[in-house]
Each structure stands twice: as structure tokens, then as C-alpha cells.
């Protein structure tokens, strides 16, 4: 998968920060931001992002509620939660809900975007592993069929 084909959706309360992150990431990925929960739902359906990065309290909802909404519309999507405060209990709970990472807010754009790149690389790797696993399973099934045919022939 070419990185530019990777669709990234950002849902941040801090619109200025979201705009700055989008500007940095657009050179590498297809990036969109959302302004509201309604906008989030519409873009989840319309663009089918590969990864969603969501503010822990976007739209006055906790990340767990947002995760349920994200999975309802796009069950295959993984997401990253970001917050201004480190809360290990929250991070642990969110990982149970398929959040792949928990990014602590950092006002330095380069540091924050590096964490985004890491999450994107992980997501691409996981997608490739799933694809390869499917291919290996098909090959294994084909080998079983061929093996049975050989046994019947002798």
C-alpha cells in the first residue's frame, strides 16, 4: 500500500492543532479532519479511513463511546486515542476496545506527527500480515486438495 493511499481521519477538540497536524501529514497521507460527531459519522461512512486518531474527549464523549460509534460504522478500523493527560487505566481499557495506541499530547508538531507515523506503520504492517495470512491459508488448502488427489491416484 502506498502511503498516499492510506486514509487517516483526525477528530481533535483543538481545531488549530488538528489543522497544523493535517498540514504536516498531507504530504504523505490522505488526511481529513472532523469538526463534530455528525461529521465523524459521515466521514467514517464516506471515506472509510484506514486509521482514526480521536481525542479522548471529542464531542463531549469519552473515547470508549466514540470507539463504539467508530466500530459500528467501520468494524475493520483501528484507532488511536490521544489525550493531554496520561491515564494508564484509560489506556488499558481502550486497548481492550482495539485502540492500538495512546498518544500523549505534545505541542511540538514533529514529535506528535512521528507518533502518528508509528501508528500508521503499525496499521499497514497489520493489514499486510492479515493479507499474507489469508494467502497462506489458501495455499495450505490447495496443498491439501492436491495431496488428496495424489493419494487417490496411487
SS (H, E, C) the chain: CCHHHCEEEEECCCHHHHHHHHHHHCCCCEEEECCCHHHHHHHHHHHCCCEEEEECCHHHCCHHHHHHHHHHHCCCCEEEEEECCCCHHHHHHHHHCCEEEEEECCCCHHHHHHHHHHHHHHHHHHHHHHHHHHHHHHHHHHHHHHHHHHHHHC
Q: Which structural domains are found in the chain, ordered by start?
A: 3-153 (3.40.50.2300)
Per-residue pLDDT tens for 12-56? 888 898 999 999 999 899 999 999 888 988 888 888 888 888 887
Look up the pTM and report it: 0.72
Amino acid at each position: 500500500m502506498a502511503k498516499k493511499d492510506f486514509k487517516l481521519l483526525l477528530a481533535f477538540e483543538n481545531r488549530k492543532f488538528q489543522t497544523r497536524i493535517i498540514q504536516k501529514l498531507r504530504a504523505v497521507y490522505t488526511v481529513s479532519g472532523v469538526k463534530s460527531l455528525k461529521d465523524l459519522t459521515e466521514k467514517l461512512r464516506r471515506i472509510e479511513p484506514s486509521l482514526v486518531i480521536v481525542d479522548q474527549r471529542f464531542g463531549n464523549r469519552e473515547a470508549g463511546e466514540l470507539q463504539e460509534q467508530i466500530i459500528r460504522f467501520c468494524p475493520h478500523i483501528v484507532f488511536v486515542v490521544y489525550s493531554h493527560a496520561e491515564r494508564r487505566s484509560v489506556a488499558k481499557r481502550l486497548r481492550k476496545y482495539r485502540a492500538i495506541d495512546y498518544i500523549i499530547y505534545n505541542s511540538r508538531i514533529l514529535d506528535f506527527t512521528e507518533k502518528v507515523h508509528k501508528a500508521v506503520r503499525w496499521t499497514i504492517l497489520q493489514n499486510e500480515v492479515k493479507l499474507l495470512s489469508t494467502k497462506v491459508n489458501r495455499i495450505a488448502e490447495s496443498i491439501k486438495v492436491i495431496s488428496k488427489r495424489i493419494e487417490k491416484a496411487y
